[in-house]
Structures are given as structure tokens and as C-alpha cells.
Structure 1
Amino acid sequence: MNLKALNLKTLGALACMGLSSIAFAENRALLVGLAEYKDPKANLRGPEVDVKLIGEVIGELGFKPDQVHTLMNQQATRANILNQMRTWLTEGVGPNDKVIFYYSGHGAQVNDRSGDEADGCDESIVPYDLNLILDDEIQNVLDGVKAREVLVMFDSCFSGTVTKSLFDIDEDVDADSKFWEKSSTGCGLASNKDFTLDDGALDASKAAENQRYIEFSAAAENQVALGALRKGEGSAFTQAVYNGLSTLPKPISFEALRNYAVDWIKQRAKSKAHTPQLTGPTKWLNSDFFAFGDADAPPPVAPPPTVQAANSAADLFDQLVKKTQFKVEALPSQPSYKLGERISMKVRSSKAGYLNIIEFDPDGSLVVVFPNKYNDKNQVRANEVITLPGLRYGNFDFVAVEPVGKSRVLALVTSQPLNLLLENVGNLTGLFRVMSDQDTPVLSTAVARAIGVFSPPANPTTSTPPANTSSPVSEDKKPQYYFGAAELVLETTR
């Protein structure tokens, strides 16, 4: 759903985070659950359980019973929902309070009525009486909420399909679709294609540093959300979120919770799985869910620790990994490969930046694995799962070749632009840039420009800088850049 002022594409969970911890006097929550509709054909399994589960979560966030209003089934008409939003969520609520609005029921899309939707569709929720509430109307209400922190959760789908029976293929998953096609018109075709984090659901997790909220939605914009996957459970998304909050070790970041929900729905719903979406400022994506805005803002990134100019690839790798400033993860699909086998890996950086992946093979050669001639664009988003090879970053193959033995692979993310494919280091051989270990000093210089961390040699009066390297950067002129690095080991066997 496109909440205009907040630029949301899908109705999701919205958390406007504050920076300090304050006692809350007028916290307000409105929970809406629709298991039954005026038209019995629209009835759903799950929403009645959803409201109970979210009620428990709200209790853990400090909400008292008298601070929570609930509208279920026949109570949840269009008029009642809007009235409660306009009164209960706004009247008497001040700038130090928390507000939560939760909805579980059908979603629908209709042709854009105000001309402000890029895709030509207005998203909506479907009340008991089947009289839609459009995203524009919800936005107008939220604009009047004066609370310091607002959390809005919608466990519903906002797809434009005209297919009446989307889930007739697989008999192994029995769940209600939360898409109400009778209220949706002319907005495309919904599809629960088997999305992965690196192709079909590119925006599954996305940093949006200028936002003052977190968006956490049940499904991608063209996906259908599911009701209860098993009798007695909540709807797929809400049940996944609840299970994650109940089982993951605390603190639980929004990012970790979304990843858990993706995996849980994937395992349970199989080919019908939908992909929960998460966007927001990086500092909040990584904050504790149970803090709900109370978490202190993370300290500013400190200047990089001093790294000595490296004369060998092993030394360069060691220093960068040891002194990384933020978390970068690198994981191969398997620990070893036989000659000729296809190699793949996944990389995730907790901060946005520019990704370079370098292999240091047993013979001492350095190969810039990424970027390469298949894809020379290497800017990545915070918390994005990058699969190489993968549809987004080049649909090619890596194959295990000579020499056999163990290779060190460095994943380096810099805040400043760095593209080692385009640097004049070593030779551009075929699809990749290839260097020798003797090229490390020049490579170090290229890296230094992006991370601003190299110090003068330990004994400048007796040490001579390697050839083709630039002069050390003085302490008072060092740029305040930052970097993250991780290493994995790949073994090639016969």
C-alpha cells in the first residue's frame, strides 16, 4: 500500500523511532482481525489467532490492557475502523507516547483514484462490510497521530490479480489466500513465484536512510499473503513473527526477525511462500524489536583503525579482516569443490557501500572475482543478501580450476567508491582482473584511497615505500571513511 507521505509501496509494519527512553502514559493500540466477513466466501483462517498473538507481543512492549482496543469480525466495519483510528489513536496521544495499529484480513487493489500511484493502483484493506479503506484514507489518519513512535502492521496482501483460484496447483499446503479478488480491479497479476533473496524479491531488505520509520510487510507488492497454514495457528506472516520473537535469542533486530520470517514461511508454505519485506534506516533495521524506539541511536562510525601499508596479499587480508569496522558476512555454498564444479557464495554487508571480492589462490595469484566483465557495477545496499553468481549481479558460472588447494577469499565493502576491476593494477585477463602477490603494494594504494587508513611505515627513516605507491596520508588529513571485511576459505580438489 502506498502511504503517500511516507512513500510506502506496500502496507507493512511501520515504526517511527525516537532517540530516548521516556515513560509512556497514553500508549494506544488498535487491533483489527477479520476471520469472518459479510460474504462468508471471504472468511479466513488465522486472524482470530493473529490478534491474540499480537496482543501478547504488545504486552511485552509495555502496553496495558486498557490501552488496547480490539475490533473483530462484525465489529470491524469501515465506519468503525476509521472512527477508532481517528479517535482512539489520536485523541489524548502526545509526543512521548506509542501508537500501534494492527490489521489482519483481506487486502485488495483498485484502479488509482487520485492519480498519485506510479503503478496506477490504490491498495486497500477490506473491512467486514466489504467497503474498502484506501491507502490515502489511512495516510490521512496517520498524519494526525502525534505520537513519538508509531507501529503499523498489516498482515494482508495488496496484489492486483484477477485469478480467482491462485493456489490450485500444490495440494501439500492448505491455506486461505488473503487476497480478495472481487474488490480488486485492473492492477496486474499476483504471483507467488519461488522468490529468492537475490532475484525475485530484490527489495526484501533495504536500507532507506532518510526514512523515519521501519516498513515490515507480509509480502512483496505482487505477492499474495496466506492465512493459517495449520489449524489453530495464526496467519503465516503473524505466526512467523510471533515464533521468531518467542524463540530467537534477545535482543532481536528487525533484520533478524525478517530473515526468520522469510525462512519460516518458505519452509512451511513451499512454492506458495510470500516474502516479508523490510525497509528503513540501517540503525533501526539493526535495533532491537522490543526496544520499539527506545534504543539509543548507535554511535557515529569511528575513524578507521590504522592499517600499515601491506607488501603481501596475506598481510593485507589479515589487517582488513582484523580491523573491520562493521559486519560483513561471506559464506560459500560448500566448503570444497572438485575441479570443474560450479562455485557460488553469498555475501551480506550491514552497511551500504561498494563490494569487491578478491581471491588469493595457492599459487599466489590475486583475482578480482567481483566486479567483473559480467557485471562491473558493485554498489550494494545494507543487509542485502548478494548471491554470486545470481540474477542481479551477473548470471554466469564460477568453476573450480587449477591450482588445487586452499584459496583465501576477501569480501571488502567500502563507504567510498572502489572498483578494483577498473583499477590499473595487474592485468585484465578475459573476464577478471588478475594480479600477482608482487602487485600487492599497488593494490594497497588503490584500497587506501577508498578507506583512508594507511599510516606511514613503522620506521620511516630506514624504510623505503614500495614502488608505485602513493605518499602516506597525514593523520590530520585522513578522510573519515569506513570499511568492512570478511574472509572465507575455498578448497579446490581433484
Structure 2
Amino acid sequence: MKKIILAILLIIFPSLLSFAAKRALLIGINDYKHLSSKPTGAKTISDLKGSINDVKAMKEILIKRYGFTPEAIKVLIETEATKKNIIKAFNEWLIKGSKEGDLVLFYFSGHGSKVPDQNGDEDDGYDEVLCPYDIVPDGGYNTIIDDQLGDMLRQLEGRNVVIILDACDSGGMVRSIGKSIVSVLEQTPCVHPKFIPITNYRPHYFPKGVLPDKPKNCLFLTASKEDQIAWETNKTNTGDFFGAFTYAFIDGLKKLEKPTYQQVLNHVDKFIKDKLKLEQEPQISPNKKDIIVQLVFNTEPEKPSIPVAIPQVSRNVLVKIEPFGTLEDMQELKRKLENIPYVELVENDLVDRFIRGKKENGEYKVRLLNRIGDVTKIPPKKNIDELVRAMIPHLEYAYMVKQLAQISNPNPPFKVELWVTDKKRRDFRVGEKITFRFKSERDCYILLINIDQKGNFHIIFPNKYYKDNFVRANTVYEIPDRRIREAYLREKKTYFELQFGEPVGEETVKVIATTRPLNLRKIGIGEFKEVFQTISGSTRAILVKAVKAALSSGNFLWSEDTVVIRSHRR
């Protein structure tokens, strides 16, 4: 009887024989066969440290929340991930191992590159390249060019195909506004570019005709624009490396309840720019509305069983001195810095600031670097005492940013969104206008703080013309707005505008939204003699402590958002 019933079911519902499955091939390479394990110079390309961590984290999230079974995931890492093995696994595991209607995922974390285009299908004249374990940079042997990947993907016709690539084909360590370079980063031990330059390229794969690299049934999620670096960086609390794109992507998969591809990419973009402070803009292709609004991996994920943990890091500014000058110079510099109560000197690479420099013609020429390699040049000084005094404002900024970073809600009950002038931009030129904008999902009370390059707090909202900081849900507010400009004109007989000016450098903007008002008077906010109140000195720490205490009281719901911006000279 059971056999008869089963036969009837299969006749009525033939799809039961071929229900959609999920299948994944995950590739990760740290230790390349023909690369150095450590960089020996500014231009030396070395092995990576985070790709294996990327693969492990990706496999875990696929199984725990997105319906992939362990048996449906194949992993190739390190020496397993040769060109031959990758192509073999693609053919046997993905093409032959899947059927029409299945969801197929191809994930790669490792180095990328670019080589001259051979069939005229690239607007910029270059093919993008994935670098297997056995790539030979001189000549480009054992590479997988985008044309070859496209030919393999075309054999997955009828499947839903997702390709996630955490690699890049550009090697410029710069920050840009449009196509103009506005600053050059220095290499630090905290970040590595995921790029190998290929020299003396000799083509080894010749596509037949001109076909699109990205077949219609494929969705591509890539780590950066074609002219940007994709980075890997280390966690400040453990030192473990990870691909910035993968780390941010998985963070979105964990925290967003029912994420679409567009929602995850928006999360990744903001995470990379404001938490990791990297110039790296993830891409989605094709960027069509009917595709990007689909649920990631066609799945309503299981809710996480444990809350998101906040990593514990030192609240002091962790500083590493890279020796310069004489031994006596370094000893004096260390003594002076150790006397600053919020500075902690370290020997490892879990740092907030590096000090680099030289002694030349009796002057100390020093640069302060953040983890990413942004440079702050200290004016030349004749003695260590003057040098330390010149560095203190920049160290204070780093300290105050770390204090405000402690005000974080990993599971906010509602969303508040903040942006400055343009949602996509973080870099601006001196003279450009500034507009602060924010929006909350629900009625709330807003505290908006701008920390300048010296660590001073500027209270943007409330302000002299908006002393009531209550805002309505789903309404975009901007500062300055017409109300502020008109009131200022009546009072001062001149126009009011905000512009980026000197000194140039990094600033942090933070918004805190609460469902009940904070006692702003109690924490020193409310005396608006000018448009915005400025708070400096020890009052800043008092304010942060008071806000943290109020938010941890449990008397109301709250959310927050942070944006990091930089100004540059023209």
C-alpha cells in the first residue's frame, strides 16, 4: 500500500523527484606556491593570512542559517586549490553535481589580478583574473581569466548561480574623489591587498568568439570596483585576519533578519567604509531590481541561536613606535608617551596608531598612521618634547573615537541612519559644503555628535535653533536646513553654510536615537551660545560616561549609527 501511495504522489507531484537543492564550492588560499610568506618591501606582494578564515566562516554561516548541508559543500584550500583542481571540482561538483532549478554557489577568497584582454570584450582592455595556489606571476601561468570562468558558468544553464569573489584586480593604495587621487596610503602590517601583479603575460586560454563573462543566470557579488583594492585586515581584539568583504558580508548575513542581496550589499558597503575605514566599494551584477530584491540564497534564514557578541578591546590608544633616530631618542619618546594616561605602547600589530619617522638635520620628521595606512604628518620638531605635544591632539582624537565606539547596540530594536552630504562618499575636499542628514524608523530623540580631528565634540543636534531634539519616524532631517539658515540670517545678517576646512584629516560623526529623551542638561548639553555647542577637555569623557550609563539603564529603546569622513586639500 505504501508503495502505491508513493507512486501516486510521484505521478501527481513529479517535482518531488527533482526538488531544488543547494550546492557550494568554496576556495581559499593564503600560502601561494610562488610568493613570499612575508613582505620584504613596500612593493613586494606576499601571501595572505585571512582566506582560510574566510572559507571557514562562510561554510559555517551557510550551514547554520542558509539551509546548506555539510555534504553539499566542497572546500578547496591551500595546496588543494591548484588551477587543475579548481576546474575539476567546478566541472564535477557544480556542473555534474547539480541540476536545473538548483542553487549553485561559487566562492573564492585569495589574490586576484588582471591581464591584457585577448578577444576585445573588455572596455578597459584587461581581463580579470583569479589566482589559484600554483599561479606563476611572471608569465601568468595557471591563472583563471574571466573568459574561462564565464565559459564554465555557461554550463550551469537552468541553475540559480551565485558567484562571490573576495579578490581584486587593482593594486593602487590610494584614496580618491572621483578619478582624482587625494591621498596615498602607506603599507602597514594590519592590511594586505588581495592582488598579484602579473608580468610578461603569455596567454594560455583563448575564448571562442566574444561572449559575456557574466552569463544571464549568474549573480556576481565582488569585493570592490575594478580600480580598487580588495583588502584583508586583522581583528583588533584577536589579530586574526579576514577578507574585509567576506567579514562584512557574513556580518550582514548574521544580523539582517531576512536579507535581500541589495540589503546585504548596503550593509557591507557601510561596514567597510565606517567600521574598517577602507576605500573599497562592493559590487553586484547584474544590478537589476528584480534580482537584487531576492532573498540571499533564496532562503529565509534561521534566527541566530546566540546574541551577537561585542569584541572586547582596550579603551586606550594602542601605539606602536617603529624605531628612528638614536636609542636615547626612542627611550625619551617612550617615556613621554607613557605619561599620557590614555596611551598604551605595544610591540605587536594590534594597534590604533603607528609612529614612523626619521631624524634629519637636527629635526624630527614624524608621521602618525592609522591601521589602514592613512598618514598624518607632524610638522618638523627640534626636540622630543615638542614632538609629543604636536601628536597629542591626534592621539586624543583616536582616544575619543574609541570611547564613542563603546556606545554600540549590536541588536538594535529599530534603525537610525546617518550620512554626510552623500551616502556613498567619505572623502571630501576643503571648501565643499557639509550637510548632516539622518532618519529614524520610529519617533525618537536624536543626539548627533561630530568629533573633529583634535577630538573635540561638536553637538550638531540639538542646536541653537532646534533645542527640542524630538524627530518623527521615516522623515529625513538635514543640518543646516532652511529653518537654521533663515534664523541665522535674521540674527547675524549673513548667510550660514558649513564647509570642510583646515585642518584636514579624519572626523567621526555619531548619531544616538532614544525612545525617551536623555537628560541633556545633566550631561552638559544645552547652552547653545553659537549654532552648535563645542565640548572639549575632560568634559568629553564625562559626557560619554553619562550617555553610556543612561543607555544601559534599560529605561528605553535605543539605536545608533556612525560615519567616518575625511577632508583633503585641493
TM-score when normalising by structure 2: 0.42
TM-score between both structures, scaled by the size of structure 1 = 0.49
